[in-house]
A and B are shown apart, each in its own frame.
Chain A
Amino acid sequence: MDIDKFLNQHEKKDLLRFLTCGSVDDGKSTLIGRLLFDSKLIYEDQLSALRRDSEKNGTTGAGEIDYALLLDGLKAEREQGITIDVAYRYFSTPKRKFIIADTPGHEQYTRNMATGASTANLAIILIDTRYGVVTQTKRHAFIISLLGIKHLVVAINKMDLVDYSQEVFNNIRQSFAEFVEHLDIPDVQYIPISALKGENVVEKSSVMPWYQGDSLLEFLESVNVASDRNFTDFRFPVQYVSRPHLDFRGFAGTVASGVVKVGDKVKVLPSLKLSKVKNIVTADGNLHEAFPPQAVTIELEDEIDISSGDMLVHVNNQPKVSQHFEAVVIWMTDSQLKPGSNYLIRHAGRNVKSRVDTIIYNIDVNTLQKNKTEGLGLNEIGRIVVSTTKPLYFDAYSKNHETGSFVLIDPITNATAGAGMIIEGVSFDSQQDDGVKDTETRLKDHVERREFYWETGLVENKERILRNRHMGKTIVVTGSNNNAVQELATKLEQRLFRLNMNSYFLGISSIKNGLDADIQNNLIERDERVRRLGELSRILTDAGLIFITALTDAGDYELNRLKVLNSPNELLIINVDESNFKTVAADANLASENSLESNLQSIIKLLSAKNIIPEYCI
């Protein structure tokens, strides 16, 4: 081998950081062991130590190497046989260098998976062909989407145990695809593999001719992740002020996002002072421009006071500057997060005092249901409202991982207690300090404020009712069967319209691409969709319409929010078949096996009984 060529190539390689996750015994360690072994990263002395350990602690058969033992670093884990922390492994091929964040599949370790995912460009989820998509698979996919990983490889493993059956592969693929649709992961690849036999791991397999795609390693070598970074919004948190002598004053830091060029007009946060970039200094010479993740030192034209923790941004593109925001937080410590507790926020290179005002809900990672909660425990995920003593300069995590992420530090134990991702939308108009409140109070206060400022025209509500011959109302049709829900809602609009009512049906997908076009399609931002729907229904009811919408799979949290947002008007909830809520009472429970006509009649009777429409309509 020409070593110069090798070294030059190695120097220019790019880097892919990926995360591996899976359930217990799905072959993850075998897969990683194989990737390392096939790329010659396991040495003979490690291998012989491994043979020795395999005999002592291994769970594989005699004479077989238990790769998991190679990967589990710490003694305690080796004895317990579970991996309890994130381990980082390194290997490289002629094309790329790889950093694997190896996280345990064990039930309780959401925290570790989030840690590994925070720096990963890509995730691999292993699915055992014998069990298919299990609860843990869904949980892992959810956390991957939460942490904003854009590329997901679903490695359907142990194909050797199902005779390399295409049908098994297709079934698993389909059931995963249905689930992942709600999660906003842009790039999902499915690869049938056998980690044990090495099929489709490094080389393309010859035993699965029906599979035309890349082997796992081929895909890892070629997937394009360079464009995943944010090159639009220039953000430069100042880490260190460099003043080696009187003639030099530079601001050292890492370009978190965006591109900065010499001559660019910049603004300093929080002082709002303006200047221009004079030089971009590095030890290897000055640069004309800098981009993420370059670490540079910026000299400005003007002498302005800047300290570490300040941020340089472009004049015409600034982050949000606020002392209030909402975020999804993953709790990482034993002591519960309670509303009203104080934490230090570490965000964009500085620590700021903060208080968690409200825990809006927690998310059950297994069912993805949002639930009311008093606190968040270890490994729980929830949505919170945070206030800080000084303004933070931030972007939504979905747009900018660097300025949208933070950790919460317990000021007493100094432990890293939680990890947070700032959300674009807000559930409440929390622009002022509202203090510590529970979710309901906060929402009611919001509605009270809104109603206080509500402007009415000259036409009175009763005039509208007299002319329309019915009241305004919002009807939400829900249930777990999407087709039944849609059909009932649209037919109801039609029937009421034919009865001379001002009925109007609005489908979610109409809003998705219009009013909600700025909102990402995922579980967290769905809250913002619901908020807008709630505000919209308040307006349309006020306009005198019978406003009908179909919200498949609405849960307690969402229905409660819609109810409060609609007040002072009341919401009518019609449920078809199985429901996804428990505490909220539906105004009518219908079954799709009844005739459509009888279901429509039931609703009309109900509307009439509630004096929304006149009796003669029945």
Chain B
Amino acid sequence: MSEYSLSQLRQLEAESIHIFRDAVGQFERPILLYSIGKDSSVLVRLAQKAFYPGRLPFKLLHIDSTWKFREMIEFRDRFCAEQGLELLVHHNKEGKAAGANPFDYGSRKYTDIMKTQALLQALDEGKFDVAFGGARRDEEKSRAKERIYSFRDRHHQWDPKNQRPELWSLYNGRINPGESVRVFPLSNWTEVDIWQYIRLEKIPIVPLYFAKKRPVVERDGSLIMVDDDRMRLNPGEKPVEKLVRFRTLGCYPLTGAIESSAETIEEIVAEMLQTRQSERSTRVIDHDGDSSMEQKKREGYF
């Protein structure tokens, strides 16, 4: 019977497809939270496979903090057009009008306004009862216990004490009106799996993941790219061209680059295998204090 075996990557793929189909069957108003990053690219590909030969039975939602890398936005628009995906873009209008930015507000408050609050506004407006996200359990330790179906109350709050046990592949999607569930089809994928899958499936990703000479400043141990002229330089800071790439993508003033010469997926993986830093170490917001990710999740952050 050994000919009937699937490689681990194909098993993960099958599991993710199963989850997409299950959730679409259990909920009325699904949405896919699209962050433009590599995990989102993989998430979209898996969704496409789940509903092939049909189109996706849901739209993509991008929460635009207005401080994303320009290349991310270009990629987003091109990718969605090429793949025939319906995209909704939302930003927090009040936040933008008030001029919320990471420099004056600090990363924590800025993230709350332009990402968490913006997301909650968009979910409320669309009355979405299920939102697919690309989070993985291996990203950060508070995620290790995250469910595949993560229940959120009326206020989108995540209560770590009140999550539903998940057994076999039986997911409990029962909710009351106003409540919602975040569904994470990539829960069991690791960073290497994601890269492997991108390579295997030739999935397009934002060029920022690959090394290139980019203007950066060094700030608190992070290399921050000067992506546009809104970047505020501290006295004495001078952008220098460095060969860098990004391991994760977010708002450019809050996302550290790493010095690297990896220009292909193979080189990235080779570098990853030798690195002694975890993926999220380049995220400035994760270091906002002990349990910071968990705190953000409770408040509704993805």
Contact = CB atoms under 8 A, between A and B. Distances in A.
A349 B168 contact: no
A184 B12 CA distance: 30
Given A75-B290, A90-B137, A283-B52, A419 B22 contact: no
B269 A254 contact: no
Interface stretch (B74-82, B83-91, B158-166, B208-216): B158-166
A242 B9 CA distance: 25
Contacts of B21: 239-240, 252-254, 295
Interface in B225-250: none
B118 to A, nearest CB: 26
A441 to B, nearest CB: 31
B299 interface: no
A12 B7 contact: yes
Which bracket fits the contact residues of B?
35 or more
B294 interface: yes
A528 interface: no
B276 interface: yes
B281 A45 contact: yes
Nearest to A52: B290
Contacts of A240: 21, 24-25, 51
Contacts of B164: 415-416
Given A6-B269, A12-B7, A244-B55, A75 B291 contact: yes
A254 B18 contact: yes
A416 B172 contact: yes
Contacts of B266: 3-4, 7
B60 interface: no
A409 B5 contact: no
A1 interface: yes
A406 B294 contact: no
Contact of B199 (A7, A292, A406): A7
A73 B172 contact: no
A229 B14 CA distance: 15
A333 to B, nearest CB: 9
A97 interface: yes
Contacts of A253: 21
B267 interface: yes
B142 interface: yes
A283 B278 contact: no
Given A7-B199, A293-B15, A46 B278 contact: yes
A545 interface: no
Nearest to A408: B172
Interface in B159-209: 160-161, 163-172, 174-176, 187-188, 190, 192-193, 196, 199-200
Contacts of A282: 49, 52
B63 interface: no
Contacts of B161: 76
Interface string A383-407: 0000000000000000001100111
B143 interface: yes
A226 B5 contact: yes
Contact of B6 (A78, A294, A346): A294
Contacts of A119: 167-169
Contact of B4 (A76, A88, A226, A411): A226
A149 B162 CA distance: 27
Contacts of B172: 346, 407, 409, 414, 416
B14 A254 contact: yes
B107 to A, nearest CB: 17
Interface stretch (A110-118, A189-197, A212-220): A110-118
Given A226-B5, A254-B14, A3 B269 contact: yes
A596 B267 CA distance: 81
B1 A231 contact: yes
A410 to B, nearest CB: 9
Contact of B52 (A88, A281, A402, A405): A281
A86 interface: yes
Given A85-B145, A92-B190, A409-B174, A244 B168 contact: no
Interface string A1-40: 1011011001111110000000000000000000000001
A438 B168 CA distance: 30
Interface in A121-150: none
A70 interface: yes
B11 A15 contact: yes
A291 B143 contact: no
Contacts of A297: 52-53
Most buried by B among A76, A112, A283, A411: A283
A85 B171 CA distance: 17
Contacts of B143: 73
Given A75-B290, A242-B53, A3 B168 contact: no
Nearest to B281: A45
Contact of A92 (B22, B165, B175, B192): B192
B278 A45 contact: yes
Interface string B1-33: 110111111111111011001101100000000
Contacts of B51: 240, 242, 252
Nearest to A226: B5
B270 interface: yes
Sort A-B residue pairs by CB-CB distance and give the 7 closest, nearest first.
A244-B54, A283-B52, A15-B8, A295-B17, A43-B278, A118-B167, A44-B276
8 contacts: A6-B270, A7-B199, A75-B290, A88-B187, A244-B53, A291-B4, A347-B170, A402-B169
Given A102-B144, A294-B14, A409-B174, 12 more contacts: A15-B11, A43-B278, A73-B141, A74-B142, A76-B160, A240-B51, A293-B11, A293-B18, A294-B6, A346-B171, A416-B165, A416-B172
